[in-house]
Each structure stands twice: as C-alpha cells, then as structure tokens.
A and B are shown apart, each in its own frame.
Chain A
C-alpha cells in the first residue's frame, strides 16, 4: 500500500508542472478558438436541438443562448491565457476548469459526445492542486507528482477503456467487422482510400488497435527509457490516425505530454542564452565561433545545452 501511495505521488520537478501548465492552458485557449470553434457556432442553433447531458440536467445548467456561449468563450479565453503564465494557479486554474467543463458540456449536448479529452479534463481538474511552480525550478513536489500521475491515468484509461467499450458495444466481432472501413468511407483521406483497398488490411489494423489499447496500462509501469519510447510510439499512432481518418485526438495528445520531461524544454531560456551568447562575442570583439564565452551570472558556456551544468537524470 505504501509503495502504491508513493507511486501515486511520486515527486516531480516544479519546473515540469510550470511547463505542463503553460502547455495545457495555451492549448485550452487554442482549442476554444480554433479546434472547437464550432461550439461557438452552436450559439446560433435553436434550443430545441439541445439535448442536455445528465450532468447538465442535475446541475440545472441553462440552455446555451448566444449571449451565454459568447460570455463563456471570452471569460475562458482570458482566464486560460492568464493561467498559462502560472500566476494565481488556484483561482485561475479552477476558473478555467469549471468554464472549460461547461464549454464541453455545451459541445456534447447536441447529439454527439466526443471521447478525446478525458485526460485533458483530468489535467485541468488536478493542476490547480499542484502548488505554485516556476519554470526551471528543480525542487521536487509531491502535489505536482499526483497531478501528473492522475493525468497519465486519464490518458491510459482513454486507451484501455476504449478497448473495453469496443468489447461491450461491438462485441468480439468488432475485431473482424467493417468498423475501420466505415471510418474511412466517412472521413478518409486520399492515403486512407488507398489503404482501404488492400484486402483485409483494415481487419488486421483492428487487431493491432485492440492489442495496443489492451496493453496500454503498461505505459504506467515501464522503465523511464522505455516509457518515453512507448509514448513516442503513441504519438506515431495518432499521426497515422490523423493521416488516414483526420481525427486528431489533440486534447488527448496534449494530456499525454504529462509523461514527458517538459522542464527541459525552455524556449525562452534558449533564446535568452543565444542572444547573450552573441552579445558576449560582440563585447569580447573576438567572435571566434565555438569559443567559450562568459555569460552574466554564469560560468563560461559553449552553447545553450551547457547552461545547466548540473547532471540531468533522463
């Protein structure tokens, strides 16, 4: 039990939480503006096509009018952009979570429910509890560890429980049925239209998808090196899905970054290091490429990769 609890709250660097917050909240802003912009279009659909979900009915959420949808959109957009900075992580985090959940409830209340954003919703629900975090901070945090672990759970559950749902609704016959062929006829690309003509390739692919989804819990317990490789393979799978049936599963892919050492991606630092590196060359008047240059507040470095002189684990 103790080791399970330790695993659930395995500490992560605060810098990873800060980076994950930036990624997730910027995605929310992009999602409501670009990817689920059709939710705003629902503002023009009359109320009688609105089929409120269970959660909307028990909470007595109002029928979305144009004014309500637009008010949620603008408040959510501003809150998400502000939250991406990492400031006021609790207030802004809960605001974004509640508004985005309502946005999704509206989105799914017109006869079609999407299943690509459970992991993202888990991330939004747990990030406000992850504590304050600054970019680049190496201090380890158990609060942050739990938030990331829960998001990883959400990602894996999306795969594993999708296999379960296929067996529940489609039965074992799903494996040999025409489901993928149907998906291609519905929304296949030119590439998919070629593949679907290869006899039985779609059935073989269905076996592959089922095996992948049933094995997905392994993602949680693989050694770190293999875990990262497996996550790369998952991204590869989504590239393939996008290239064939144009379904991006983007919110899920964003949640999947919870597996990655995001704290090492420091675009602002890299730009800063590069510009002060160049400034250093100019000041020194030597300008010889590759020569060690002292940067203010740091020992001499040869490039951005050397800015962090301390050992890196991964």
Chain B
C-alpha cells in the first residue's frame, strides 16, 4: 500500500485506471523519442532547433578582462529627439537586436524594419528620420561595474 499512501489514495476509492498495452507502448515510445531529441539538441543542436535546442540561458562565458557590451536600438526624429526602442514602444526586444547585430552591421538597410516597427506602434509621434544600433561597452572589475563605459555605433540608417 506504500504507493497508495504516497498518492493520497483510499482503499474505498475506485480501483486505479490502468493503461492498456497499446497506450503504454505508445507512451514509452514517445518518452524515448522525446528524450533522444532533447539529448541530441543539447549535444549538437542550436537555438534554431527550438523547442529541442540546448538550454543555453546564460551559458556563454564572459571574461573579466573584456568590457560587457550591451546593445540598444534608437530612433531619432527630425527635431533631433532620440527614443530607445523597447518592447513597449516597438515590439522590439533588446535581446532580439543583439541576436541580429551581425546582420545589421552587414546590411544597415535592415534598420528600416526597426523604424517601421516604431512607427506602427506610434502613429501619432513624429516619424523617425534615422535609426541606430549602438553597443555600450561597460568596464567591470571583480567588484562589479566600474562606472566607465564607451559607446560604439554598430550601424545607422537614414529613413528615406
């Protein structure tokens, strides 16, 4: 009865519902396939293999000797007013900008997409005249950020 006590069962309850042979086999096969995909994803997969890709949250190693670089995208209107893009004002997440840095560097024209996203969310605001993706390099020590940083413009695009 150890099992029954474990699950809060009572002898007066109806008997447990057992799985048939077919149902059991199907579940065991599904378990094995799922496990194989998951292990394969972890061993050789990439993010592209979602949902079976490797669980690589915070998995890269940052060096103490190198600055910590954080990207941001910003749009500037004709009056020179600059707004940083957020999920709230454009649907663009910072990690998404960081995930496409190489593309933006190679093809700055793609930045128009960011300007369009901002415009779609803010039809009443002045239209952006230019878009920029900027990396801020923070210097760090073993006792946290030193407070010193420098900005690097990765890509800019003037909206035509």
Interface residues of A (CB under 8 A from B): 5, 8-13, 38, 40-46, 48-49, 51, 53-55, 101, 104-105, 108, 110-118, 121-122, 129, 131, 138-143, 146, 150, 153, 157-158, 161-162, 164-166, 168-171, 173-174, 177-186, 193, 196-200, 224, 261, 263-264, 310-314
Contact = CB atoms under 8 A, between A and B. Distances in A.
18 contacts: A8-B28, A46-B117, A49-B110, A139-B14, A142-B16, A143-B17, A143-B23, A157-B38, A157-B55, A166-B56, A179-B58, A179-B60, A179-B61, A182-B62, A185-B138, A185-B145, A197-B144, A313-B7
Given A112-B95, A310-B12, A314-B8, A168 B17 contact: no
Contacts of B114: 49
Nearest to A200: B142
Interface stretch (B74-82, B84-92, B126-134, B152-160): B84-92
B57 interface: yes
B55 A111 contact: no
Interface string B105-126: 0000010011011001100000
B101 to A, nearest CB: 9
Interface of B: 3-10, 12-19, 23-24, 27-28, 31, 34-35, 38, 42-43, 47-51, 53-64, 68, 70, 87, 90-93, 95-100, 110, 113-114, 116-117, 120-121, 138, 140, 142-145
Given A45-B92, A114-B57, A141-B17, 6 more contacts: A13-B7, A38-B91, A41-B121, A111-B98, A113-B53, A140-B15
Contacts of A141: 16-17
B63 A161 contact: no
B9 A140 contact: yes
B68 to A, nearest CB: 5
B57 A177 contact: no
A237 B59 CA distance: 18
B99 A112 contact: yes
Contacts of B61: 169-171, 173-174, 177-179
A140 B58 CA distance: 40
B67 to A, nearest CB: 10
Q: Which of B14, B17, B95 has the most CB of A within 10 A?
A: B17
B31 A162 contact: no
A164 B42 contact: yes
A185 B149 CA distance: 12
B136 to A, nearest CB: 10
A186 B48 contact: no
A313 B9 CA distance: 7
Contacts of B12: 310
A9 B27 CA distance: 9
B8 A313 contact: yes
A182 B13 CA distance: 55
A8 B59 contact: no
A38 B68 CA distance: 26
B143 A179 contact: no
A181 B113 contact: no
Nearest to B107: A48
A105 B49 CA distance: 10
A162 B10 contact: no
A303 B70 CA distance: 56
Contacts of A43: 91
